[in-house]
Each structure stands twice: as C-alpha cells, then as structure tokens.
Amino acid sequence: MKKVIGIRREDKNEWERRSPLTPGDVKELKETFGIKTIVQPSKIRIFTEEEYEKAGAEINEDLGEANVILAVKEIPKDLFQKGKTYAFFSHVIKGQPHNMPMLKQMMDLKCNLIDYERVMDEKNLRLIFFGPFAGLAGMIETLHAFGQKLKLQGFHTPLEKIKQAYEYNSLEEAKKEIETIGKEIDENGIPVELCPLVVGFAGYGNVSRGAQEIFNLLPHKTISGHILNEMYETFSADDYNLYKVVFNEEDMVRAKDGEFELQDYYDNPEKYESRFETYLPYLSILVNCIYWTEDYPRFVTKEYLRNQTILRSNLTLKVIGDISCDINGAVEITHKPTKPDNPTYTFFADKDRYEDGTQRTGITVMAVDNLPCEFSRESSQEFSRVLKNFVNDLAVEDFDRDFEQLGLPYPLKKSLILHKGQLTNDYLYMNKFIK
C-alpha cells in the first residue's frame, strides 16, 4: 500500500501559522516508514516551502493523492474530498453550531474524522494538544492587558513593559523579559494601592500549568482557595509579592444537597451550583483555564457583576484572561473571540455594554481563541513531536473495513468521530446537534 499523507494550509485567519508536522519530522517519517508527504503551499506557515522540500516533501496544491490529510484548525466545508481521512481540531464534540455544517458535509462525503482533542489513553488522558502553549501565550496576553489597564488608571508598574506574546521573537525571549520584570518587582515593589494583588487560576490542567509557568516568573506567594477570604486582609501590606490561587472543582462549586463528590460532579453537574462568586471580590486577575459545557454552572455571571455595580462594591477584578474562550460560557461576559491584533474588549456592567480594547474602567476580557499561534514555531514543534508517532498507523490503515476490524491503536480509535461518514458509537449523541 502506498503511504501518502497531506498537510493542508491553514486559512482560518491570518494569524494561524502553525503546522501539524515540522519539516524535520516529515523527513523522519519518510526515512523510517517510507511515507510521502504532500504539503499545500502557504504564505504564512511558520515553516517555509523550501524547508519542506529539503525534508523530502512535495509542494502541491492538489492533495488528491494523499490517503490522510492533516491540519490544525477546522477545514472549510467545501474543501473536503470524498472518502478521505482527516485529522484536525474539529470543535464539534460539544455540538458547536457553527461547525455542524462542516460535520454534515463530511458525513455526506463518507469521510473519516480523527479529532486530536479526543486522542486519549485508557485513562482518558489527552495525548496530543497545544494546551500548554495556549496557557503560556494567554498568560502573557493577560499580563500585558493588566499592565496597560493599570497604566490607564495612573499606576505605573513594571508590568506595563510586557508586550503581547506574538511581539516576542521566541518563547525564551518572552520568559527572559518577564523574569527581568519579576526581579524589578522584587527590588522595588508595586504601588501599595494595588495590594494585595491576587491572581486566580480556574483549573489546574495543561492550560493552567502553561499559564502558571509564566506567572511563576514573578515574585509571588501561593495560597489555597479555601483560605482566601479569611486571609485576604493579612496580605495588604505586602507590596513586593503577587498572590496566586489555583482553584479546583471543590473550590468552585458546592452540592445543592449533600456533600461535594468529584466524580458525581462530572457525572451530574446539574446537582451542583457555583460558589465562585465568594472569591471574585478578592481577585485582581482571573485566568480561566477550565473545560466547560452548558451542563456546568457559570462562574462569572452578568447578574453578579451588575449587582456589584448597583451595590457600589469595591470589586478589584480588572482583567479576565479567558484562555478557554467558551463564548457566553463559564465566564458569561466572554461574548466573542478575539485575534492577537485586537485581543481584548471591556465589559461595563452598569450599562451591559462592551467596548473593544483595554479601557480604563470596566472589566477587560482577553479572549484570543487560537493563542498557540502566537508561538507558532515552538508549539508546532511540540505538537509534531507527539503526532508523528501516530502517522504511520493512520497511513497504513484500511478505513474501508468495518469499525471493529480497524487496526488502529486505542488512542486513534477513541478519536475516530466519523467512520465512512457515520458517527461511531462514542459520538452517537451528536446526532441531536445535526440538522
């Protein structure tokens, strides 16, 4: 069987420069498994066509020869080819309405769909992801927005020197600058009027760990969510440290009746309600890194923010870095995704309105929805390092066989949403989303 894979150009927006496979890994796949790679030309991809050609790939607009086509983001529905196997982040498993026409087209064309988000081991741990890079870039963007907001409010701090993630030549350069800023805070402190400056992280997974990696370059003390309320007043005199709180599920929700049980919360989220509003008065920055669907409670609601405005409460929350970027989701005021060239908008609770950009007052939301593209080279290299281990299995598979006969390893079989245009058993629930 001739093994041919294709890498399509990314065209979701002008910022999407990532690639699922690097030239180096394309070369390795050719030398190790005899896999031919056809790469669509692209003017914005982080790796040049010359680099792929030197690695032994063919540059060609036509991917018709490829049995398997790899991408990063969603593919326009008119570009699918009948019976082909596609692997990309499809963003369909929550029934996202904007991607249902794409899924329906794939079904009509009897395509096979592998979703990277669902490539998991037997313990349901994801194996292929950009999550840490979303966290890394998202935290930089959030700190940039916070520094600019403080500047607008008349507070000059070292944080205003932090640039947007894409303005750095590399992740290493960004880290070095933020580390230098951290030393400056350690030596000179921050305006006492801003203290205590508490940064809350909702979630503790890959995205959160990436965000914390950046934050940890700044001088800080870590406290537990359950003591934030009672200890808050004791932090106010410390103007040489920021405070970090990582909230887990038990911090964020309570059972409507009975005790909190983690697995029960996952299985029956309707039995729980948010308790997150008890922490919001103490946060200066909230970094949202959680997985969320409509079954789960919201943690920041318009009603709460409106009530705080009516009560004229001294809410210290200035910036929300919504790295998860679920529209009208866990953070209800996240009402649209943004791009790196205009990464923020500001919500004014008293008038229930938004203004683009970071404004002096109101709560500013950072909602860039493809943050890893701001470090396209590093994120692509890490992603490719893992993905290449599955490519040969995809290239040799005969997808015309029945699902039970497929020889795919467990993680790939788990991620097969469509097989010959039909939803596989784990994804039959999605029929209700398809009109």
Q: pLDDT tens, 43-64?
A: 999 999 999 999 999 999 999 9
Q: Which of 45-59, 229-243, 269-283, 412-426 has the lowest mean pLDDT?
A: 229-243
Q: pLDDT tens, 183-233?
A: 999 999 999 999 999 999 999 999 999 999 999 999 999 999 888 887 777
Sheet holding 422-423, edge to edge: 58-59, 36-39, 4-7, 68-70, 85-88, 112-115, 416-419, 422-423
When the pLDDT of each residue in the chain is averaged and rounded to a whole number, the result is 95
Confidence at residue 231, expressed as pLDDT on a 0 to 100 scale: 75
| Intrachain domains 4-129+376-433 and 131-374 with the same fold | yes
Confidence at residue 229, expressed as pLDDT on a 0 to 100 scale: 82
Q: Tell me the average pLDDT across 361-365.
A: 97
Contact status, residue 424 vs residue 65, Cβ threshold 8 Å: no
Confidence at residue 284, expressed as pLDDT on a 0 to 100 scale: 96
pTM assigned to the model:
0.91
Q: CATH number of 131-374: 3.30.565.10, 3.30.499.10, 3.30.1370.100, 3.40.50.720?
A: 3.40.50.720
Distance in Å from the first CA to the final CA of the chain: 37
Q: Tell me the average pLDDT across 284-293.
A: 95
Would you place residue 312 in the very low, low, confident or very high pLDDT band (cuts 50, 70, 90)? confident
Alpha-carbon distance 246 to 251, whole Å? 9
Would you place residue 131 in the very low, low, confident or very high pLDDT band (cuts 50, 70, 90)? confident
Q: Where are the chain's structural domains? A: 4-129+376-433, 131-374
How is domain 4-129+376-433 classified at the architecture level of CATH?
3-Layer(aba) Sandwich (3.40)
Confidence at residue 314, expressed as pLDDT on a 0 to 100 scale: 74
Counting residues of the chain whose pLDDT is more than 90, the rounded percentage is 91
Would you place residue 16 in the very low, low, confident or very high pLDDT band (cuts 50, 70, 90)? very high
Alpha-carbon distance 181 to 299, whole Å? 31
Q: Tell me the average pLDDT across 37-42.
A: 98
C-alpha 26 chain-centroid distance: 26
Confidence at residue 226, expressed as pLDDT on a 0 to 100 scale: 83
Q: pLDDT tens, 373-420?
A: 999 999 999 999 999 999 999 999 999 999 999 999 999 999 999 999
Q: pLDDT tens, 344-356?
A: 999 999 999 999 9
Confidence at residue 234, expressed as pLDDT on a 0 to 100 scale: 73
Q: Is 11 exposed, middle or buried (0-12, 13-18, 19+ CB in 10 A)?
A: middle
Question: What's phi and psi for 239, nearest 5 deg?
Answer: -105, 15
With a cut of 90, say whether residue 313 has pLDDT above it.
no
